[in-house]
Structure 1
Amino acid sequence: MLTFSAYAMIVVFMALIMTKRLPAMVALILVPIAFGIATGFGPVLGPMMFDGIKKLAPTGVMLMFAILYFGIMIDAGLFDPVVRFIIRIVGGDPMKIVVGTVVLAMSVGLDGDGSTTYMVTAAAMLPLYTRLGMSPLVFTCVVMMASHNMNLLPWGGPTARVVTALELDMKDVFVPLIAPMIITALWVVFVAYLLGMGERRRIGIVKLGTGGEGEAVMVGSDPSLLRPKLLWFNVALTVALLVLLVWGVLPLPVLFMVAFAIALTVNYPGLQQAKERTAAHAENALPVVALIFAAGIFVGILSGTKMVDAIADSVIVAVPQWMGPYMAIVTAVLSIPFTFFISNDAFYYGIVPILAKTAAVYGITTAEIARASLVGQQVHLLSPLVASTYLLVGLAKVEFGDHQRKTILWALSAAAVMLIATIVCGVVPVVGRLS
């Protein structure tokens, strides 16, 4: 009964948001509550929901102050030179803009943090999409695909989790994956080319001017808010923020809170200016943070009712014995739905060790299972359980369900390319050595 309820809850949630029957925020709150009551957990739902909210609270705080920080940077004109440089390279060609978006997202994504990638890429590229009338869904699609691949870096999260869970050396898992990651990155660039060509056919190539005040306005800045004399200070502050973020000197929420306070004070001193700038960007921050806390209710009920465990057990039981010799491929395929429907922690700490023990019987090493388990990360960020995804759709002002529909097949194609690349490169075996 619990297993059926778990699958039904996810299916109903996805159907409601993809058909636009309910906003994502409302569905994240009401759907799990309804299923929690229906399965007899009504009296204990309160603590479950609060636990889920507490788990995502740091992420919500971080995203709120990150949006405010980068909003201040956009107002001050930090990204105007970047946009002018991009315009000189890509002009008004939608295809070049989409490919450039992917390249920029991958470059920024080297820090392993998806939220930073989304905010920096959106600040630099979305004004071009708006100016040319390009689809923001194309933007969210290619940026997320780029982020999927960069998420596999050792400091990105999933790789560190599986290395810890299976007690492996990072180099034994990550180094062999470099070649498949490069191949997948090339595929993502090709997808960007295809989508960009579609936009070029729809819009054509637009002639854009360069230089002058017009471009500052195009980036989205009010000329009266620009702070050209503080450009290098803002650059130094942002670089310092990103370096400290990678080093992990302070928790991310604290880093962004401090950076925002410094940026606001230096660029817009005075109580009135500070209040105006904060209020101006609250409109962007509130929907994202609200979605994060709503997702906390979904996650809390999914975990507290043990629906996550029920889903995991049902899939493991469903794997027939004859698949044993192919457990590496099975793990790679299972990683796609698992990392979509449940959290990375639940998958890598709870399920992958079981799969690894089963695979060992057939001569498949633990490291090979670890690599195979990371294939599903090409789809993971599309999950409604991933907080940063709400930031991306919020920045682009698109519906979550529309983004999923636009991106899912392309993301699955990237997962297929990565799986094939891991097999061709000998990173993941097709058949166990003892089969």
Structure 2
Amino acid sequence: MLALTGILTIVVMLYCIMSKRMSPIVALIIIPTIGALIAGSGLETPKYIVAGITKLAPMAAMFVFAITFFGVITDAGMFDPIIKRILRFVGTNPIRIIIGTGILALIAHLDGNGAVTFLVTIPTMLPLFTKLGMDKRMLIGITALSAGVNFLPWTGPMIRAASALNISTHDLFVPLIPAQIVGLTFMIFMGYYWGKKEQKRLGLTKEGMLANSNVSHHEKELTEEEKKLRRPHLFWVNIGLVVAVLSTMVFTRISPTVAFMIALTLALMINYPNVKMQSERINAHAKAALMMASILFAAGAFTGIMTGSGMLKAMSESAVNFIPQHFASHVPFITGIVSMPLSLIFDPDSYYFGIMPVVANTVEMLGIPSIQVAQASIMGQMTTGFPVSPLTPATFLLVSLAGVDLADHQKFSIPVLWLASIIMTVACVVTGVFPI
């Protein structure tokens, strides 16, 4: 009975989220609460909610400070010199232009926000693609690929996966670094491949430049408000802050929350010593940060209820009866292979809080570490999958900025993004993250 209640709870939650009858925050809180009351948890339910939120509090805090930190240094103009150098480097060579677009998207995606990545990359590179007559599907394809393989400890899928299984982002992310490097290498390769195709299609000089072209590099124009916020003389200081916080995340056991708290404090003090400006910068990025934190706390309520009430354990015990012992070790690899297409079916909240915990707990009962399912999921589920999924608003922003039809983008990009997911999954097998 408990397992059936758990299944119905998840099914109803998935339906409410995917049909947009409820927001993820509402569905993650109210549906499992009702399920727990039906299961007989009674007045113990609030205790489960508090326990779940307590476990996720450090992770939610990390996300709030991380997104605000990257927002502040972006406001200060840390990326401006990098963007200018990329634009000067690419010239009118299609290979350089496409690879440069991928590198720009990679840097812009440091804050883990897909919408910001697209808003920085597409308007910056679109004029070059338009003037040279290059295929704009390649513009959004390389941008999507670069953002997709650039999963970081503070990105949405990583935080959701870690919070759903109550594991640290450090333990989840560090073993995946080699696979991510492979994914980034594949992005560069695809940029070269697409660039060569465009060279051949457009007809180029021996040096790879467009014949009879007078197109020179361009620079992104800043608004007056953006100019007031820029701190170009502090470029290297801000770079140092980014390197320091990333190094702390990867190479030490210092809490990421503490690292980003200190980094944000220093970024504000150095770039905007005026108290009023500090408040304005925090307010400017508070909406995005608090929205994700709210979802994480709601997810904490969900996982706390599902775990405390025993529904998750009951579902996993029931599933164990249908999975042969010898098959369990293959589940992470299979998850990695299908994780990217699952982005077209499940939104991140539905998958990471509804589907993945059941699979992970089931294989753990069969002797396979649950973290392997989370790591396999990261290989594609709303990482390489989010820029083509109709379930994410960022996808529509991407195609609208470039003026490309969604269907054309999906036909062009889905095979490449899925291949990237498969290649990274194989890399995980080779590096011993999980078995085949």
TM-score bin, normalised by smaller chain: 0.5 to 0.7
SS at match of 1:55: helix
Q: How does 1:234-253 map to 2 (within 5 A)?
A: 234-248=238-252, 250-253=254-257
User: Matched residues in 1 for 2:283 and 2:432: separation?
Assistant: 54
CA-CA distance at 1:11 after TM superposition: 2.3
Deviation at 1:74, TM superposition (A): 1.1
Alpha-carbon distance, 1:82 to partner: 2.3
Which residues of 2 match residues 95-106 of structure 1 at below 5 A? Answer: none
Give the stretch that moved more between structures: 312-321 or 34-43.
312-321
Q: TM-score normalised to the size of structure 2?
A: 0.63
Q: How does 1:270-349 map to 2 (within 5 A)?
A: 270-320=274-324, 324=326, 328-330=329-331, 332-333=333-334, 340=352
Deviation string, structure 1 residues 63-101 (Cα, Å, up to 9, x no partner): 111122111101110111222234445689999988767
Q: 1:195 to 1:314 in 2, by over 3 A?
A: farther
State the identity %. Answer: 29
Count of aligned residue pairs for this structure pair: 366
Unaligned runs of 5+ in 1: 109-114, 165-173, 197-206, 357-365, 383-392, 431-435
Distance in 2 (alpha carbons) for counterparts of 1:7 and 1:93 = 55
> In structure 1, what is the equivalent of residue 363 of structure 2?
351
RMSD (CA atoms):
5.4
The 1-side partners of 2:378 and 2:47 are apart by: 30
Q: 1:4 to 1:341 in 2, by over 3 A?
A: farther
- Residues 1:247 and 1:413: Cα distance change in structure 2 (over 3 Å): closer
Q: Which amino acid aligns with 1:36?
A: A
2:306 partner SS: helix
**Aligned CA distance change for structure 1 residues 12 and 87 (closer, same or farther; 3 Å):** farther
TM-score by length of 1: 0.63
1:312 deviates by 2.1
The 1:327/1:289 distance shift into structure 2, 3 A limit, reads closer
User: Which residue of structure 2 lines up, in the alignment, with residue 111 of structure 1?
Assistant: none
What SS class does the counterpart of residue 262 from structure 1 fall into?
Answer: helix
Shift of 1:412: 6.9
Name the counterpart of 1:15: 15
Is 1:210 matched with 2:218?
yes
> What CA distance in whole angstroms lies between the structure 1 residues aligned with 2:250 and 2:80?
25
SS of equivalent residue, structure 2 residue 379: helix
How far residue 329 of structure 1 moved from its aligned partner, in angstroms, is 3.2
- Structure 1 residues 184-234: Cα deviation after superposition (integer angstroms, max 9, x where no partner): 6677778999999xxxxxxxxxx99623xx4344xx971011111111221
Q: CA deviation at 1:421?
A: 7.6
Does the CA-based 8 Å contact 1:74-1:123 persist in structure 2? no
Shift of 1:39: 1.7
Aligned equivalent of 1:118 = 112
1:254 equivalenced with 2:258 (yes/no): yes
Distance 1:72 1:92, change over 3 A: farther
Deviations 1:400-420 (A, max 9, x none): xx9xxx899988766656667
- C-alpha change, 1:25 and 1:49, in structure 2 (3 Å) is same
CA shift for structure 1 position 264: 0.8
The corresponding residue for 1:32 is 32
Q: Tell me the CA shift for residue 48 of structure 1.
A: 0.5
Matched with 2:149 is 146
CA distance in structure 1 between the aligned counterparts of 2:253 and 2:435, rounded to whole angstroms: 39
Q: Retained in 2: the 8 A contact 1:74–1:221?
A: no
Residue 251 of structure 1: how far off its partner (Å): 1.2
Residues in 2 aligned to 1:192 and 1:255: alpha-carbon distance in whole angstroms: 34
Match of 2:269 among 240, 265, 269: 265
Note if contact 2:62-2:257 (Cα within 8 Å) is conserved in structure 1: yes
Give 1:227's aligned residue.
231
Report the residue type matching 1:354 in the other structure.
L
**Do the aligned partners of residues 88 and 396 (structure 1) sit closer, same or farther apart at CA in structure 2, a change above 3 Å counting?**
farther
The one-letter code sitting in structure 2 at the alignment partner of 1:56 is L
Structure 2, unpaired ranges of 5+: 128-135, 168-174, 196-214, 340-350, 384-391, 398-405
Between the aligned partners of 1:302 and 1:103, the Cα distance in structure 2 is: 41
**Hey, what does 1:168 align to over in structure 2?**
none
- Name the structure 1 match of 2:203: none
Q: Distance in 2 between matches of 1:194 and 1:6?
A: 48
Q: Give the drift of 1:340.
A: 4.4
1:314 to partner: Cα distance? 2.2
Tell me which residue corresponds to 1:41: 41
Deviations along 1:275-300, one digit per CA (max 9) or x if unpaired, are: 22222222222212211111111111
Letter in 1 for 2:14: M
Aligned to 1:385: none
Aligned residues of 2:160 and 2:296 also touching (Cα < 8 A):
no
